[in-house]
């Protein structure tokens, strides 16, 4: 895809992230914490999944329409034709529907340590998507909606495959009485402000670049951050193996700090290797993206640093907070985001590539600061333990 089409594709993916993030708002984290404790005690966790599924649908119904409206505005403002716009919005809606259901089903597999199923379904979903994308390239199709529908099909497959295994451990059907609804409502109230601020901050970058007519920068940011796939394996292991283990472990300070030290060490080593690779292989990586991205090695390094911080804050520190259900101080993201926006808009020129990329990359610091606040509060409220 050229920069114009890639920008539209990136906008659609961003809108998809908006819908899935806001429709979660602490629900998955609380479900993992409750189900992890319940499973460790030998309890039936089905009622928790029933309550989570019901509440998640309510959240999804509330955020889908605003998310699609924003997507329509950004796609249209960045040059999407009516047909591309309509097909993109449809693909976003279908993918979001599958992704929202899959995330809850995945928690069941995490809690009951169905690691082979998690890895196998993820692999086959990736193969399905890769096969569809390869077919599109062979057919000479480069339209953004085509690639979005490939993602929708892969997401639907992932849901069907994982739900088949998950139902052996938890039944969230209509016959199950929901338990824990108040816990999910409370978790959502704590997490929703920060989730909303997170999404608004991310969308602010795209909106401001759209206003400045800098569609190229939208494509460049999206393309240069694609190399973050290097963190995919580690993030997957932390999310599917480490986090559930933390949720089932004794809630003591020493246990949490030990887990934090182990996870942090892995991310530190990967960060050093990742940044070194980006700097040394920058010109080669940019040539893979195409001639339009030549000479962007400094920008690639800046976004790489932001990628490292994002993955550590979400996958490292965030895994601890997620597993323990520590959402109480999620709102701390808001003041940090306000400071980021004020400083960034005052110091950077978003009509330039460097200004846009620096503004986008620095947003990672906001998420890191918020995760640290949540972690510190959570650890201080644990028993010291051994």
The SS3 call for residue 383 is strand
Q: Using an 8 Å Cβ cutoff, are 54 and 181 in contact?
A: yes
What pLDDT was estimated at residue 386? 43
CB atoms within 10 A of CB 337: 22
Structure tokens at 285: 């990586």
Taking CB atoms within 8 Å and a gap of at least 24, the contacts of 176-181 are 176/46, 176/47, 176/49, 176/50, 177/47, 177/50, 178/47, 178/50, 178/51, 178/54, 179/47, 179/48, 179/50, 179/51, 180/30, 180/34, 180/47, 180/48, 180/51, 180/52, 181/51, 181/54, 181/55
What pLDDT was estimated at residue 141? 85
Query: Any idea how long the chain is?
Result: 386
- To the nearest whole number, what is the mean pLDDT of the chain? 84
The residues pairing with 252 across neighbouring beta strands, listed in sequence order, are 383
Structure tokens at 284: 């080669």
Q: Using an 8 Å Cβ cutoff, are 84 and 142 in contact?
A: no
The pLDDT tens digits for 241-285 are 777 777 777 677 888 888 888 888 888 888 888 888 888 888 888
* C-alpha to C-alpha distance for 114 and 35, rounded to whole angstroms: 14
Q: Using an 8 Å Cβ cutoff, are 51 and 179 in contact?
A: yes
pLDDT at 180 over 80: no
What is the torsion angle, in degrees rounded to the nearest 10, for the CA atoms of residue 349, residue 355, residue 359 and residue 361? 180
pLDDT at 191 over 80: no
Q: Using an 8 Å Cβ cutoff, are 4 and 79 in contact?
A: yes
Q: Using an 8 Å Cβ cutoff, are 2 and 292 in contact?
A: yes
Taking CB atoms within 8 Å and a gap of at least 24, the contacts of 97-100 are 97/60, 98/152, 98/155, 98/156, 98/158, 98/159, 99/16, 99/20, 99/155, 99/159, 100/19, 100/20, 100/23, 100/24, 100/56, 100/57, 100/60
Q: Which stretch of 26-30, 99-103, 372-376 has the lowest confidence by average pLDDT?
A: 26-30
What is the DSSP-derived secondary structure letter of residue 176?
S
What pLDDT was estimated at residue 91? 94
What pLDDT was estimated at residue 86? 94
**Stretch 96-119: mean pLDDT:** 85
The residues pairing with 383 across neighbouring beta strands, listed in sequence order, are 252
Where is mean pLDDT largest: 18-22, 77-81, 146-150, 244-248?
146-150
The SS3 call for residue 282 is helix
* pTM assigned to the model: 0.70
Q: Nearest-CA neighbor of 209 among 348, 22, 52?
A: 348
């Amino acid at each position: 895809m050229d920069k114009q089409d890639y920008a539209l594709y990136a906008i659609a993916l961003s809108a998809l992230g908006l819908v899935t993030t806001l429709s979660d708002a602490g629900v998955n984290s609380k479900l993992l914490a409750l189900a992890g404790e319940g499973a460790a005690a030998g309890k039936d966790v089905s009622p928790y999944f029933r309550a989570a599924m019901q509440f998640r649908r309510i959240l999804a119904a509330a955020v889908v329409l605003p998310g699609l409206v924003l997507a329509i505005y950004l796609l249209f403002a960045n040059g999407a034709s009516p047909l591309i716009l309509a097909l993109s919005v449809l693909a976003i809606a279908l993918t979001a529907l599958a992704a929202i259901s899959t995330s809850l089903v995945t928690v069941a597999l995490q809690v009951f340590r169905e690691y082979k199923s998690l890895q196998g379904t993820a692999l086959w979903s990736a193969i399905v998507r890769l096969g569809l994308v390869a077919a599109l390239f062979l057919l000479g199709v480069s339209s953004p909606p085509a690639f979005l529908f490939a993602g929708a099909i892969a997401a639907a497959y992932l849901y069907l495959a994982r739900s088949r295994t998950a139902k052996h451990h938890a039944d969230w059907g209509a016959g199950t009485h929901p338990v824990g609804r108040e816990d999910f409502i409370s978790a959502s109230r704590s997490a929703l402000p920060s989730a909303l601020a997170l999404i608004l901050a991310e969308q602010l970058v795209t909106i401001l670049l759209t206003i400045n007519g800098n569609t190229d920068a939208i494509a460049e940011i999206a393309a240069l951050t694609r190399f973050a796939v290097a963190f995919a394996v580690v993030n997957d292991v932390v999310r599917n193996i480490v986090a559930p283990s933390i949720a089932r472990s004794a809630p003591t300070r020493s246990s949490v700090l030990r887990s934090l030290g182990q996870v942090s060490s892995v991310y530190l080593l990967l960060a050093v290797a990742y940044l070194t690779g980006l700097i040394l292989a920058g010109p080669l990586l940019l040539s893979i993206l195409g001639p339009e991205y030549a000479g962007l090695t400094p920008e690639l390094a800046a976004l790489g640093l932001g990628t490292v911080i994002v993955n550590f804050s979400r996958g490292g520190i965030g895994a601890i907070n997620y597993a323990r259900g520590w959402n109480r101080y999620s709102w701390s993201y808001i003041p940090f985001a306000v400071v980021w926006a004020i400083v960034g808009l005052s110091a950077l020129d978003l009509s330039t590539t460097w200004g846009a990329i620096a503004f986008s990359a620095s947003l990672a610091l906001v998420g890191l600061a918020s995760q640290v606040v949540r972690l510190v509060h959570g650890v201080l409220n644990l028993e010291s333990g051994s």
